[in-house]
């Protein structure tokens, strides 16, 4: 009675959960979706509070880069915890720290990111590439539609079709 467990699975696997006794009771299931910005920021700050603090700019970048995905938040925040632990939990976590762990975070999230990339149309891939490039140069600040349009005009050989771009985004 005192043992609690948390299982996570992809929504695509949910229909198969009924085959496993611990997961069969629908009253025990909780759907977790993307978190809003406030909840994502809290999930970033609160568990870390006993060990280290984060600059507001770093938290804003984490929220923007993960889009509120619980899995991506877990990956990024775990890597930041490990970085802080290497420093003896001294000093603030900065935007530079967030940038330094991004290659490892992307590698760890490959199992989630790659299938989404491979399912995307070429237009969606170009829009994602634009958002990734612009996010890198903006330091995690919001990206404007005109910036995406400009990037696509510079980087794409095909003209930007406004309706298609709006639908893709």
Q: What pLDDT score does 1 carry?
A: 64
Tens-digit pLDDT profile for residues 119-152: 988 888 888 888 888 877 876 677 888 898 888 8
Q: How far apart are CA 63 and CA 13, in angstroms?
A: 27
Tens-digit pLDDT profile for residues 89-113: 999 999 999 999 999 999 999 988 8
Q: What pLDDT score does 139 carry?
A: 64
Q: What pLDDT score does 26 carry?
A: 75
pTM score over 0.85: no
48 closest CA partner among 36, 61, 58 = 58
The most confident of the ranges 16-25, 56-65, 155-164 is 56-65
Q: How far apart are CA 169 and CA 166, in angstroms?
A: 5
Q: What pLDDT score does 98 carry?
A: 95
Q: How far apart are CA 62 and CA 145, in angstroms?
A: 21
Beta bridge partners of 62: none
Q: What pLDDT score does 55 carry?
A: 96
Look over the chain and give the mean of its residue pLDDT values, rounded to a whole number.
86
Token pair 């925040």 in the structure block, residue? 77
Tens-digit pLDDT profile for residues 73-93: 999 999 999 999 999 999 999
Helix/strand/coil (H/E/C) assignment for every residue in 133-157: HHHHHHCCCCCCHHHHHHHHHHHCC
């Amino acid at each position: 009675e005192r043992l609690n467990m948390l299982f996570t699975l992809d929504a695509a696997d949910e229909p198969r959960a009924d085959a496993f006794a611990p997961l069969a009771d629908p009253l025990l299931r909780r759907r977790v979706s993307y978190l809003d910005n406030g909840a994502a920021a809290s999930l970033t700050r609160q568990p870390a509070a006993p060990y280290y603090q984060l600059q507001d700019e770093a938290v804003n970048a984490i929220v923007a880069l993960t889009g509120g995905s619980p899995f991506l938040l877990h990956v990024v925040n775990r890597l930041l915890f490990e970085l802080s632990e290497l420093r003896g939990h001294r000093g603030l976590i900065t935007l530079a720290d967030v940038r330094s762990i991004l290659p490892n975070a992307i590698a760890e999230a490959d199992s989630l990111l790659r299938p989404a990339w491979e399912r995307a149309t070429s237009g969606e891939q170009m829009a994602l590439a634009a958002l990734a490039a612009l996010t890198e140069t903006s330091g995690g600040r919001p990206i404007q539609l005109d910036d995406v349009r400009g990037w696509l005009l510079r980087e794409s050989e095909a003209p930007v079709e406004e309706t298609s771009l709006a639908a893709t985004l």
